Amino acid sequence: METANTERKKVIFSAIQPSGTITLGNYLGALKNWIHLQDEYSCIFALADLHTITVRQDPAKFRHNVLEAYALLLACGIDTEKSPFFIQSQVCTHAQLAWILNCYTQFGELQRMTQFKDKSAKHADNVNAGLFTYPSLMAADILLYQADLVPVGADQKQHLELSRNIAERFNGLYSPTFTIPDAYIPKQGARIMSLKDPTKKMSKSDENVNGYVAVLDKPDDIMRKFKRAITDSEACVRSAEGKDGVNNLMGIYSCVTGLTNEQIEKEFEGKGYGDFKIAVGEAVVEHLRPIQERYADYSKNKDYLEKCYTDGAQKAFSISNRTLSKVMKKVGFIPKAF
């Protein structure tokens, strides 16, 4: 039982799309931090599969990607006893609140979203309404759980700011209903870059498969990719402006070993990039090995996976429905009779 002196843990909500390969960048930039957050915060995690269908999906591959991502995130260390972890489409409150929030979001606000412009250009043959109202669904995801903090990358800051604006607008029209969420930006590993073009973020959509490392890549493939990673002509392992490739490798090595840049520079003093790339590759292989082993176990146990995501959906519905009920009452909807 909480005492008067016990502070409530802040709530963190975080979601990731199950749109295929999860990269080392996804893991070090977001997922690894999710695991550590569970001790300090009250965490709620989701696979945002409703967001994924703004781009056409092959149904069988889509289902496979969702289950693969769920098993992999469990393998990364999400503790379902501590943190509800669910598949977004299995919790109906998300779509329901998203529609209501659409009616409290201005057309101009959505039109200004940078990601909408980028994705519209990329998928010019399918600029659908869901892509346009995507940020309202993201706002619903966050606001349903009264999240205090949301881990976001640079590409999602604009969406979080819109979520704050929608919440403030609704609270101002009615009465305090939603917690106004703040961004949670980790100090380390927030932006892992491509191994072949370190000026760009690591992405599975990279046309060069050597640009990214997948969490489920085989050790030999991981080593090959790191050996081919772009560096520079200086042949000195140090962090400095203009040394994008080396800075990126140092950031990755730091994330998986816990060493500071100063310690890394000292470790490789007098050594060339060949030794450094091998060391980074080996450190990544060993860091990912237990995750890959747990993933293999979970993938074989479909009943366990189903139990986890069903329990997660039930917990998420119980929490989110309290918020949705308050919203519907304040808007003026007639209460449900069942």
For residue 182, the SS3 value is: strand
Select which of 157, 204, 227, 315 is catalytic: 204
Select which of 201, 225, 243, 277 is catalytic: 201
Count Cα neighbours of 79 within 13 Å in the Cβ-side half-sphere: 10
DSSP string, 196-265: S-TTSB--TT-SSGGG--BTT--HHHHHHHHHT----SS------TT-HHHHHHHHHHHHHH---HHHHH
| Distance linking the first and last C-alpha atoms of the chain | 32
Q: For residues 130 and 143, give the distance between their C-alpha atoms in angstroms, rounded to a whole number.
A: 19
- Residue 250: which residues within 8 A CB-CB, separation 6 or more? 237, 239, 261, 264
82 is catalytic: no
- Residue 275: which residues within 8 A CB-CB, separation 6 or more? 268
Q: For residues 78 and 182, give the distance between their C-alpha atoms in angstroms, rounded to a whole number.
A: 22
Q: For residues 262 and 150, give the distance between their C-alpha atoms in angstroms, rounded to a whole number.
A: 30
201 is catalytic: yes
Select which of 32, 119, 225, 243 is catalytic: 119
315 is catalytic: no
Return the active site residues.
119, 201, 204
